Amino acid sequence: MPGKVLVAMSGGVDSTVTAYLLKKQGADVIGLTLKMFEGQEKHLDDAGKMAAKLNIPWYFEDYTDFFRDEVISYFINTYRKGKTPNPCCYCNEYAKFRYLFEQMQKHNADKIATGHYARKTFKNGHWFIAKAANLKKDQSYYLSLLDEFYIGLTEFPLGEFPSKYQVRKIAEELGLEVSGKKDSQDVCFLEGGDYREYLSEKIPSDKIKKGNFIYKGEILKEHEGVEFYTVGQRKGLKTGFHKPLYVVEIDPVSNNIYLGSKEETYFKGVKLEECNFITERKFFKSEIKLRYRMKSAACTVEILPNNEAAVLFDEKQSAPTPGQVAVIYDGDLVAGGGIIRKAF
């Protein structure tokens, strides 16, 4: 690839091999590492070492303050609203790629590249994110809210690799120490920990929004705080009830959490907000993923004004969760996505 490319390097095998592949193609590659939360340095140490091994310039930029205000605050506040955030999707749209674009301009680069397992394609005059060849590692879901502007600027070299083994093999053959390095966690700043523990550290105990578990109009017991539950949850409720109960709805006004049977967590559709669609159509058949680890489900999409959409499932789906990202697929292409406002 001709031109100057800024590669986001995390210190892992994926971003390192991405930089290597682009350099091999003839690109003028520079590595950039973003620090986005305190304590992250221990995960990033390898980035500079790998850049040196590849003989490419490397830069380190501290975005901790911006990330705290733009992503971590969103994460905490969404739970406090009785919803379940998707920080990875949100970060890609509102933080990470904007930081990378800022650095791309600063270093006079022409393109950005990341180690995401995804592809992009140009169709009908538009850039689309597409599923990776390696469907087990496919990360198109997490890039679904990305503006077309950033899609056009970004390369995803690993999207064509059918297996992670091949990527590790390249690193191993190059003698790179990161060839066997474990994959990073989905929510980087949790560092593999439980989100409830993280929230307990960030929210003063007297500010936790406590209320009651309600089942069929009756109070079962006080819960620990709306921040610690999510729609569809069964484990950890500790109600002592004689049959399994599930979270059906969380009311952030009364702070009550409504429980029901498994069947009551199934809904026929969702309303989406803060949508990003790359399509001229307003009403069409498609497929939807309500969470990353789920099989796509057939649906009908209606795009509404004000960046909103309504989606009707062909078959009822379990636990569409307010705050989560719903992604609309047109075959392998990401037609768009949005944040679930409510299920119906």
The total of other beta-carbon atoms located within 10 Å of residue 148's CB is 14
Say how far residue 16 (Cα) sits from the centre of its chain.
21
Beta bridge partners of 5: 29, 111
Q: Quick one: how far is CA 76 from the chain centroid?
A: 15
How far apart CA 215 and CA 260 sit, in angstroms, is 6
* Catalytic residue status for 299: no
Secondary structure (3-state) at 59: strand
CA separation for the pair 305, 207 (Å, rounded) = 36
- Amino acid found at 221: K
Q: Which of 88, 89, 91, 275 is catalytic?
A: 91
Contact 29, 19 (CB under 8 A): yes
Q: Which element (helix H / strand E) includes 65?
A: helix 64-67
The tokens describing 80, both together, are 């406090």
- What lies within 8 Å, CB to CB, of 24 at 6+ separation is none
Extract the runs of DSSP E, i.e. beta strands, from 160-262.
212-215, 218-222, 246-250, 257-260
For 208, the token pair is 């936790």
Residue 250, number of CB atoms within 10 A of its CB: 27
Q: Which residues pair with 221 in a beta bridge?
A: 213
AA identity, residue 240:
G
Cα(91)–Cα(114) distance, rounded to whole angstroms? 14
**DSSP label at residue 290:** S
CA distance 104 to 8: 10
Find the radius of gyration of the CA atoms of the chain.
Answer: 21
What positions carry a catalytic annotation? 91, 188
